[in-house]
Structure formats: structure tokens, C-alpha cells
Amino acid sequence: MKKLLAASAIALSIACTATVVAVPTPASAQEIYATNGHLTVNIATSYIGKVTYKFGVRNPSRLTFDCSSFTQYVFAKRGISIPWGSSAQTRFGTRVPSKSQLAIGDLVMFSVNTPGKINHVGIYIGNGQFISNVPSKGVSIDSLRTGYWASRYITGRHY
């Protein structure tokens, strides 16, 4: 009987002693883009003052791009292949439901000529701002919240 009680006590103490293993929860898409998107933004901002805008041009050796060939070039530097053309870039990646859900490094699309038709693209850099290549300034940072671009925003894409 003593052996049975001793064996039961040992078994019970072993069963009640558990090792707790912390299993990390998977990061959300927004967290992943927010932590890696800064790499895309760093590349894009390094071209401020160095790039010339020319519609329909993709010339990396001369640093001459239109808006979508610039975003294509920046993403390629990160090993991410996206098509040329702002409307073509809209068909890839994951749709961002609203401006408030944009993450750093997301593409942002705009309509500048024909209402509702996407014809400009940039890269969200956080704090309601984005970077893009424009005819008047080359690569520059602008606000999504106020001014010219605020009412022309159409959608964003996670890549």
C-alpha cells in the first residue's frame, strides 16, 4: 500500500509539473508591412532630388521615371516585382480597406485627370504622408490628409 501511495504521489507530482512554452502569435499583415515597409521608404527617400520625371519613361541608368516606373524601381530594389503602370499596380497585392489602415510601404493610388481612373501612384511613408515622383518636383513627399492629393486618393495596396 505504501508503494502504491508513493507511486501515486510521484505520478501526480509529475503530471502537475508542466513546462510552459510561449508560442508567439503570428504578426498581422499590417505589423509585417509596418516593420518592413520602412526599408521601401528608405530606398524611395534616398532618391529625393536625384530623379527626373518624364511620363512614360523608365530609365534607371539616367534616373528618369514616371510615377509608376519609380515605384516599380523602388520595389525591385527590395526584390519585389510589380508591373509598370499605376492602374496595373492596382491589380496586384492586397487591397487596403481605408486610408486609416495604410501601413508604411504600401502603394497609394490617385486619380489626377479623369475622376475615378487611377493614373498616379506613390508609397505611403506614415503620418498621413506619401512619396512619389511628380512632374513639377521629381521625387517628393506630400500629404494624404490635406491639399491637392487628399481628395484624389482612390485606394492603397499591401505588397
User: Does residue 112 sit within a domain?
Assistant: yes
User: Does residue 22 sit within a domain?
Assistant: no
Structural domain count, the chain: 1
Residues whose CB is less than 8 angstroms from the CB of residue 105 and which lie 6 or more positions away in sequence, other chains included: 33, 34, 36, 37, 38, 39, 40, 41, 123, 124, 159
Residues with catalytic function: 67, 120, 133
Per-residue confidence of the chain (159 residues) as pLDDT tens digits?
445 444 444 444 444 444 433 444 454 445 454 558 999 999 999 999 999 999 999 999 999 999 999 999 999 999 999 999 999 999 989 999 999 999 999 999 999 988 899 999 999 999 999 999 999 999 999 999 999 999 999 999 998
Q: What's the CATH code of the domain at 45?
A: 3.90.1720.10
User: Does residue 15 sit within a domain?
Assistant: no
* C-alpha dist (Å) from residue 145 to 35, 120, 150: 23, 16, 5
Q: What is the pLDDT of residue 36?
A: 85
Measure the CA–CA gap between 10 and 24, rounded to whole angstroms: 32
| pTM of the predicted model as reported, rounded to 2 decimal places | 0.79
